[in-house]
């Protein structure tokens, strides 16, 4: 074994160590997020704050009793909130977040985010080490694509936090998904460092696949928002119709952003990245022309990429149409993300084609 080969093998081992180390830190972040939700459910502070700033469903003034020192109580009038919502929508304030408006819950939430930042840095180091070990872009097979995908997803989440967006409610689901992704990658999808097949030796690998990874990561965040929107919307509907949600639903769902907020978040996320997905497909067609002498050949990966594009285009069109706002559009958004997932896992593993680079 020459020096170069030994160096590459050492870098591959370092990459594996860093990926496993990131999984350990993500696990700690997972438990910290669990603590955030648990301790956040033990106080009425967040609920009281929401009650004092919210509006009654019938527009009337509601009185709230607040305990004072000395055993006496003060009666506060909950002010009527003037809103400018569209006809038929509910004027519901956002929940206090996973921390429930409590100091202890917020502390655990901050610890969870800090651990997520550390895990992200370690995982990113593992991706870079993998790239150095093979001396190419680190997404030549499903293992490399998976570890890069989850890295980008966490990076997008942290960027939103850095921009002071209210997205910490994604944290628990994100960390859980990342652990599942890395678990599958390191056990089922793992492939030793190796060079690319001839068709992939192109600068388009950096352009086409990197944009596909970014799109998938952002689509994932949009899908999380859409899924939680459906739960929160059902919760709000039940309350509006006089129902009484269960204790678990009340404890969890009342702390999420309002359904309208979640719906808007998902729409903006998907709309923002859709043009990049369009570019991804165009870049892939150009690369196919260079590599195989044709821009389109009805390869399974090409077909499902286009199906995914059509699904998201239909969602965005439906979302902009009054009759398809809300739950109908949300279901279509989840179908679109399901197409993306099948395009990645299903086509790569179960379908044979020119894009069969799974390595498993």
Least confident among 20-29, 60-69, 115-124, 221-230: 60-69
**Average pLDDT of the residues in 332-340:** 95
Residue 56: predicted pLDDT: 40
Q: Is the pLDDT of residue 359 over 80?
A: no
Q: Is the pLDDT of residue 251 over 90?
A: no
Q: Is the pLDDT of residue 204 over 80?
A: yes
In the 8-state DSSP scheme, what is residue 345?
I
Residue 158: predicted pLDDT: 97
**Average pLDDT of the residues in 242-269:** 89
Q: Is the pLDDT of residue 301 over 60?
A: yes
Residue 119: predicted pLDDT: 98
Q: Is the pLDDT of residue 46 over 60?
A: no
User: Position of tokens 């999380």?
Assistant: 224
Which range among 216-230, 290-304, 335-349 has the greatest average pLDDT? 216-230
Instruction: Give per-residue pLDDT as tens, 120-146.
Output: 999 999 999 999 988 888 888 889 999
Cα–Cα distance, 86 to 64 (Å, whole number): 28
Compute the mean pLDDT over every residue in the chain, rounded to the nearest whole number. 83
Identify which of 357, 335, 217, 245 has the alpha carbon closest to the alpha carbon of residue 291.
Answer: 357
Q: What are the start-end ranges of the H helices in 188-322? A: 204, 210-240, 247-253, 259-292, 300-319
Identify which of 330, 218, 331, 226 has the alpha carbon closest to the alpha carbon of residue 276.
Answer: 218
End-to-end CA gap in the chain: 26
User: Position of tokens 């989440």?
Assistant: 157
Please work out, in degrees rounded to the nearest 5, the angle formed at the alpha carbon of residue 97 by the alpha carbons of 95 and 103: 120
Instruction: Give per-residue pLDDT as tens, 218-243.
Output: 999 999 999 999 999 999 998 888 88
């Amino acid at each position: 074994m020459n020096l170069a080969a030994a160096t590459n093998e050492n870098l591959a081992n370092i990459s594996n160590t860093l990926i496993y180390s990131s999984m350990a830190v993500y696990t700690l972040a997972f438990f910290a997020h669990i603590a955030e939700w648990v301790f956040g459910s033990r106080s009425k502070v967040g609920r009281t704050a929401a009650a004092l700033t919210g509006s009654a469903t019938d527009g009337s003034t509601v009185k709230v009793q607040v305990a004072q020192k000395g055993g006496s109580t003060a009666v506060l009038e909950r002010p009527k909130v003037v809103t400018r919502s569209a006809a038929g929508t509910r004027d519901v304030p956002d929940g206090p977040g996973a921390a429930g408006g409590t100091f202890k819950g917020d502390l655990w939430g901050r610890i969870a985010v800090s651990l997520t930042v550390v895990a992200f840095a370690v995982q990113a180091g593992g991706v870079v080490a993998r790239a150095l070990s093979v001396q190419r872009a680190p997404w030549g097979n499903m293992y490399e694509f998976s570890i890069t995908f989850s890295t980008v997803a966490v990076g997008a989440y942290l960027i939103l936090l850095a921009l002071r967006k209210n997205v910490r409610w994604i944290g628990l689901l994100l960390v859980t998904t990342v652990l599942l992704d890395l678990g599958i990658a390191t056990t089922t999808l793992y492939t030793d460092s190796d060079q690319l097949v001839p068709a992939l030796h192109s600068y388009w690998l950096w352009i086409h696949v990197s944009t596909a990874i970014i799109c998938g990561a952002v689509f994932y965040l949009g899908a999380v928002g859409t899924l939680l929107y459906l739960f929160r919307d059902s919760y709000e509907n039940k309350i509006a119709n006089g129902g009484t949600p269960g204790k678990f639903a009340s404890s969890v769902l009342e702390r999420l952003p309002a359904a309208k907020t979640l719906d808007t978040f998902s729409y903006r996320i998907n709309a923002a990245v859709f043009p990049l997905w369009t570019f991804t497909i165009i870049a892939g067609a150009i690369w196919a022309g260079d590599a195989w002498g044709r821009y389109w050949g009805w390869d399974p990966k090409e077909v499902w990429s286009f199906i995914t594009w059509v699904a998201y285009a239909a969602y965005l069109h439906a979302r902009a149409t009054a009759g398809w706002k809300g739950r109908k559009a949300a279901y279509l958004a989840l179908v679109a993300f399901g197409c993306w997932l099948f395009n990645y896992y299903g086509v790569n593993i179960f379908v044979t084609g020119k894009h069969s680079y799974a390595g498993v």
